[in-house]
Structure 1
Amino acid sequence: MPLATAAPAAADDGGQCTFPNKKYEGRPWSLQRVQLDELWAQSTGRNVRVAVIDTGVDTRNPQLTKAVDAKSGINLIPKDAKDANGYKLKRGKENGTTDTVGHGTKVAGIIAARPAKGTGFVGLAPDATIIPIQQNDADGNGTAVTLATAIRHAIAKKADVINISQDTANAVKPTPLLEQAVRAALDADIVVVASAGNDGLGGNVKPTYPASYPGVLAVAAADRNNERAQFSQSGDFVGVAAPGVDMVSTVPGGGHCADNGTSFSAPYVAGLAALIKSEHRDWTQEQIVAQIQQTAERSVAGHDRLVGWGVVDPVRALTEDDKPIEKPVADEGVTRAEAPTPAAVHLGETPEQRAARLATYIVVSGGVLVAAIAGSAVAVRDHRRRRAALTAGR
């Protein structure tokens, strides 16, 4: 069964992305929504390995050269694979560091691209390590069977997180080999993140695989308003949402392009998982997933089928982490305040009010008396002066 990786719509560059491409100078909106300094003060993803099962990861992009563990990579495209015209496919390097499509290079950049001069783009976990696994390409040379093989390779190479930005072409369950591989990864305490799919126009709801497997963190796409992107797949299997519109990232050869899709929401969450894993090495994959879900931004108390538990909040996930949780709680954050105590009503004068009134009278009376005495003294003085003047005049 083939697996899809294509984005649903053209990005800001009108779909004219070439490899290599010019640098994106600013800070992409998906990163502007995060206080990166505060985030990286907690974790940068150091010593965490993230397997990117995709179309390969091109290490010629300077932001990915030091991010990729090429020795652990693999190319699973069949050696007899053919392109769309029937010609033998140029598979590229056997370690998975060739990417003629650009999809896997974008995914890897969102996770762990290193900082570089001339661009504000950087990976969410800039010290994490990428394991490149080339399993799919633009000509459909990737199946549920090869995906299962890719997952097994990631387990063997000690991945802490696996990112799968692809899904089956229809809602039919694929070969059991895929589910077995996913279960093996979860049993190995690996966080498995998968894109929910891009077939959500018109409110279409259907399961996608491997996102729908129990234990997999399925990621929907959100727009700049923290609402579900119109193309994003909905369903009860959706775990969280993350930015997935106008997503700037690295491309083969160098530079950047923008793209849309849950394919680029998933690595945003995989990067967050890497940050948490680096900070909490003893947390299980279930606890990391629960932390991401619990701290997501949501407009309802619990889960919904559009954005799951909400749109991920990286800073909150790394700062509200005093202890691990096993499952997200629906009413978390809802405060049940006690009703205010009504003030006592006194129909007559209270002792405190009476004392205050008498004190006021005393102060006012004393002031009047002082003024009266002072006025009398002035009058007597003036009278004496007039009598003295009359006597002198005689």
Structure 2
Amino acid sequence: MSSGTFRRAAASFVVLGVVGATAAAPAYAAEPSSGVGAPRWSPISIAAASECTFPSQDVKSTPWALQRVVLTELGADKTGSTGKGVTVAVIDTGVSIENPQLAGAVDNGGSYLNDQFPKDGINDPVGHGTKVAGIIAARKSPNTGFVGLAPDARILSYRQNDAQGSGNVETLVAAIEDAVRRNVGVINISQDVRGGGDIDPDNDPDHAFGGYQKLKAAIAKAEAAEIVVVASSGNDGREGNTYPAAFPTVLAVGASDRNNERAQFSQYGDFVDVAAPGVDMLSTVPKGGQCVDNGTSFSAPYVAGVAALLKAKYPGWKAAQIRARIEQTAQRNERGRNRFIGWGVVDPVKALTVGGEVQAPTASANPTVKLDAAPIQAQPLGLAETQEDRNRRTGTLVLGGGVLAVAALAGGSVVLRDYRRRGRH
């Protein structure tokens, strides 16, 4: 092979290698920071916003996150609950009441973005809160296979943040306190706050974590009112506490993939209580239709929907009992919890039907001991391909194709050279 031909082949291989590497490395939305080592308000991760327009098309098929539930087993005739009579506060970017699946299901909690329009909680310029609300309580529609886990629950919507992270700890606290005053059953918070480095907010609340004590007090008020608070773990894909998820009385939710494993982007640590589907999550969007998105933002409402179902079925249960039931019935293949998916991936059907006639568990101040002692059956893991699997496969195929192309180019050059030499003779 001539030196020129070799250089061209090498260049082709490099280009193909770069393309393959890009395909094999999925990107996730970066979150804003106020500086190196500084506390930061991490509002949301809108990974698929650019791929979705409002309104969007109705998706006819049933999304994978609902297929794993087996919706026919989650109906009122099997579980005795559709969430009726329970209100779930969604503290987010607002919820659009223009989507037919949410029409008549959403109450206005108001807006804490006082310098922005619209000044209410029943509009959603971003789309994030509408997706969150849909996963919880979207009504059934003949136009789509998507439906909320608690389709008769009500949503109390607070517009407390936006895509630029305009919300802060104070507005989050105010929304939580208002939800407590309105006697909701469940609060969903698909956003997080974190501090920089290995900090202890209890020992240094003002310097390390502005507003920490106020947020802690608001969560304590919700617990005293027996409200189940559910929060996402965050989308940094690394280890470290986030708040309010890391408060002991908050059900901290990480994201799982189709194989019941931690999604690559899901924040992890000892504070994670359970995981729930958070990859390729289909849900409602403003003005109509559905779109797909990724993030722990959409894992939390999956669990909030289960909490609403339990609240409706067992209205006398305390918040700690509902949290324990969700943890006890999660799918896992080991006895204890781990820092990646907590006690396991939430199983809505089992949470509502375990043991036939379900008896209220005894709440414990130390749920770790109770859960470790509980009889646990390993759950089978699904074999469906995850997005990460597809990315790796695509990268491998592209690189393989590149190697074959280079080999073909080199072989062709040798054949052409020999043909020309024979022609000279």
Query: Match of 2:273, SS?
Result: strand
Whichever residue aligns with residue 362 of structure 2, its letter is I
Query: Match of 2:51, SS?
Result: coil
Q: For 1:31 and 1:181, how far apart are their aligned partners in 2?
A: 33
- Who is 1:370 aligned against? none
Residues 237-246 or 33-42, more deviating? 33-42
- Choose from 350, 372, 391 the match for 1:330: 372
Please identify runs of 4+ aligned residues in structure 1 that moved more than 4 A.
none
Query: Match of 2:265, SS?
Result: coil
Contact 2:233–2:252 (Cα < 8 Å) also in 1: yes
Pair 1:311 & 2:353 matched: no
Q: For 2:259 and 2:46, how far apart are their aligned partners in 1?
A: 19
Q: For 1:2 and 1:59, how far apart are their aligned partners in 2?
A: 31
- Choose from 32, 38, 57 the match for 1:22: 57
Pair 1:271 & 2:309 matched: no
Contact 2:226–2:318 (Cα < 8 Å) also in 1: yes
TM-fit CA distance, 1:325: 3.3
| RMSD value, Cα | 1.5
1:167-182 paired onto structure 2 within 5 Å: 167-171=192-196, 172-175=208-211, 176-182=213-219
1:194-343 paired onto structure 2 within 5 Å: 194-200=231-237, 204-320=238-354, 321-326=358-363, 327=367, 328-334=370-376
Equivalent pairs counted in the alignment come to 316
- Who is 2:408 aligned against? none
Encode CA deviations 1:130-169: one digit per residue, 9 max, x unaligned.
Answer: 0001100112210011000000010111110000000015
Whichever residue aligns with residue 37 of structure 1, its letter is T
- Who is 1:52 aligned against? 90
TM-fit CA distance, 1:99: 0.5
Query: Match of 1:192, SS?
Result: strand
Q: For 1:334 and 1:138, how far apart are their aligned partners in 2?
A: 41
Q: For 1:170 and 1:78, how far apart are their aligned partners in 2?
A: 26
TM-fit CA distance, 1:61: 0.4
Tell me the TM-score normalized by structure 2: 0.72
- Choose from 35, 48, 51 the match for 2:70: 35
Contact 2:101–2:141 (Cα < 8 Å) also in 1: yes
Encode CA deviations 1:25-44: one digit per residue, 9 max, x unaligned.
Answer: 11000000012222223110
CA separation of 1:324 and 1:234: change in aligned 2, threshold 3 A: same
Q: For 2:40 and 2:248, how far apart are their aligned partners in 1?
A: 21
Q: For 2:319 and 2:91, how far apart are their aligned partners in 1?
A: 18
- Choose from 34, 38, 44 the match for 1:6: 44
- Choose from 209, 215, 221 the match for 1:184: 221
Encode CA deviations 1:28-73: one digit per residue, 9 max, x unaligned.
Answer: 0000001222222311000001000000000000100121123xx2
Whichever residue aligns with residue 150 of structure 2, its letter is A
Query: Match of 1:132, SS?
Result: strand
- Choose from 131, 136, 142 the match for 2:167: 142
- Who is 1:115 aligned against? 140
Gaps of 5+ in 1: 80-88, 336-394
TM-fit CA distance, 1:299: 1.4
Encode CA deviations 1:164-204: one digit per residue, 9 max, x unaligned.
Answer: 0000154553411111111111111000000000011xxx2
Contact 2:98–2:287 (Cα < 8 Å) also in 1: yes
Whichever residue aligns with residue 332 of structure 1, its letter is A
Q: For 2:348 and 2:156, how far apart are their aligned partners in 1?
A: 23
Q: For 2:118 and 2:325, how far apart are their aligned partners in 1?
A: 39
Whichever residue aligns with residue 125 of structure 2, its letter is T
**Identity, % of aligned pairs?**
56
Query: Match of 2:155, SS?
Result: strand
- Who is 1:366 aligned against? none
Gaps of 5+ in 2: 1-38, 197-207, 378-425
- Who is 1:75 aligned against? 111
Whichever residue aligns with residue 306 of structure 1, its letter is F
CA separation of 1:318 and 1:275: change in aligned 2, threshold 3 A: same
Contact 1:179–1:213 (Cα < 8 Å) also in 2: yes
TM-fit CA distance, 1:24: 1.1
Query: Match of 1:124, SS?
Result: coil
Tell me the TM-score normalized by structure 1: 0.77
- Who is 1:363 aligned against? none
Query: Match of 2:302, SS?
Result: helix
